[in-house]
Amino acid sequence: MHPVLYSGLFQHNKQPLFKPVFRLRVHTHRYRTILLKENEKARDMTPDTADKIFEILSAENPSPQTELNYTSPYTLLVAVVLSAQSTDAGVNKATKALFQKVRTPEDMLALGEDGLTEHIKTIGLYKGKAKNVIALSKMLIEDFGGRIPDTRDDLQKLPGVGRKTANVILNIVYGQPTIAVDTHIFRVANRTGLASGKTPDAVEAGLENIIPERWREHAHHWLILHGRYICKARKPHCAVCPISALCAWPEKAEIQVGRAREVSRNT
C-alpha cells in the first residue's frame, strides 16, 4: 500500500449522506474495468459530498505527486506517452537509464529510434511508442522551439498525445486544474458516484462539474492514487477506505462484511 497516500487509514462510522440508487456491472474493455449503470437514471452526488471526499483525501495526502519519474517537462511528456496501457512502475524501470542520456528533444533525436527502442522494449506497444516519441520530439523542435506547448490543442497535435496525456502535462507542468481520466479515475468516479459516464470524456465532464474549485489542481492525482491503492478493480479495500461513508457503491457493504468475517476467522 502506498506509504504516503494512506499513512493514517481510518474508518468512518457515519452513514452515507445519500442512498445509492443504481447498481454497477463490471465489463471487460480497453480500460480493463468499465463500470456501467444498470439503471438509466442515477442520482448525482451533491457538491457538498464531493467537497467532503476531497477534504478527506487532502488530509491524507496534502501534496500528491505523479508516480512517473522524470527530470524535465520534456521527459515527463515522454514518460506519459510511454505509460499508455502500461504501468508507471514498468515505465520507470525502462526510463531509468534512458533519462540519464536524454533530457531534451535534441537528445532524443541524437539517440534515434533504434536506440530508444532498446531502452523501452520491456514496455507494451514499444515499437509504436518509439516512433511517436521520435516524431513528437522532431515536431517540438520544428514547430515549438523545443518548448512543451501550454495548450491542449497544441499538445494534441503531437504524435501519440491524446486528451488524457495533454491534461496530465497541463496539470503537472503548468498547474492547470485539468483532470486526466485514466482507468483508475474512470473506475473510481463511476463506482463512488462522483461522476457517472460510459466514456472518459463523459467522466471528465462530470468531474469538472462536481469537484469544487479549491480541489481541482490535485483532484486527478488523489483519484488516481485512491484507485491504484484502495479502490482497486478486483479487490477494493473498502474496509479501510477513508471515504467509504461517502461512497455510493452498493457492493461496498458486502465487501466490508466479507473482510470482517475473514479477519474474525483469522483471530
Higher per-residue confidence, 244 vs 31: 244
Q: Say what the pLDDT of residue 41 is.
A: 35
Domain with CATH 1.10.1670.10 in the chain: 24-56+179-265
Give alpha helix (H) positions in 83-199: 88-101, 105-120, 126-144, 152-155, 163-172, 183-192
**Domain 24-56+179-265 coded CATH 3.40.50.1980:** no
Amino acid letter, 62: P
For 154-160, what is the mean pLDDT?
97
Residue 33, pLDDT score? 39
* Contacts for 75-79: CB closer than 8 Å, 24+ residues apart: 75/99, 75/102, 75/103, 76/168, 76/169, 76/172, 76/173, 77/136, 77/148, 77/158, 77/161, 77/165, 77/169, 78/102, 78/108, 78/133
List, in order, residues 6 or more apart from 231 with CB less than 8 Å away.
184, 187, 188, 191, 192, 237, 241
- Asked if 159 contacts 135 with a C-beta cutoff of 8 angstroms, the reply is yes
Instruction: Kindly tell me if the per-residue pLDDT of 182 is higher than 50.
Output: yes
- From the list 119, 121, 107, 157, the residue with the least C-alpha distance to 136 is 157
Lowest mean pLDDT: which of 37-46, 82-91, 164-173, 195-204? 37-46
- Per-residue pLDDT at 22: 34
Mean pLDDT, range 103-128, rounded to an integer: 96
Choice among 164, 198, 235, 252 that is catalytic:
164
Q: Bridge partners of 26?
A: 35
Name the catalytic one among 114, 182, 198, 235: 182
User: Is 37 an active-site residue?
Assistant: no
Residue 64 CA to residue 219 CA, distance in Å, equals: 9
Average pLDDT over residues 165-170: 98
pLDDT in tens, 41-69: 335 689 999 999 999 999 999 999 999 99
Banded model confidence at residue 256, pLDDT cuts 50, 70, 90:
low
- Looking at residue 2, what is its pLDDT? 44
Q: Where in the chain is the domain with CATH 1.10.340.30?
A: 73-172
14 is catalytic: no
pLDDT for residue 232 is more than 70: yes
Q: How confident is the prediction for the chain on average, in pLDDT?
A: 84
Residue 155 predicted with pLDDT over 50: yes
Q: How buried is residue 75: exposed, middle or buried, by Cβ count under 10 Å (0-12/13-18/19+)?
A: buried
pLDDT of 27 > 60? The answer is: no
265 versus 34: the higher-pLDDT residue is 265
Spatial separation of the C-alpha atoms in residues 254 and 251, rounded to whole Å: 5
Write down the pLDDT at residue 265: 54
**Confidence band, pLDDT 50/70/90 cuts, at residue 252:** confident
Domain 73-172 grouped into CATH 3.40.1710.10? no
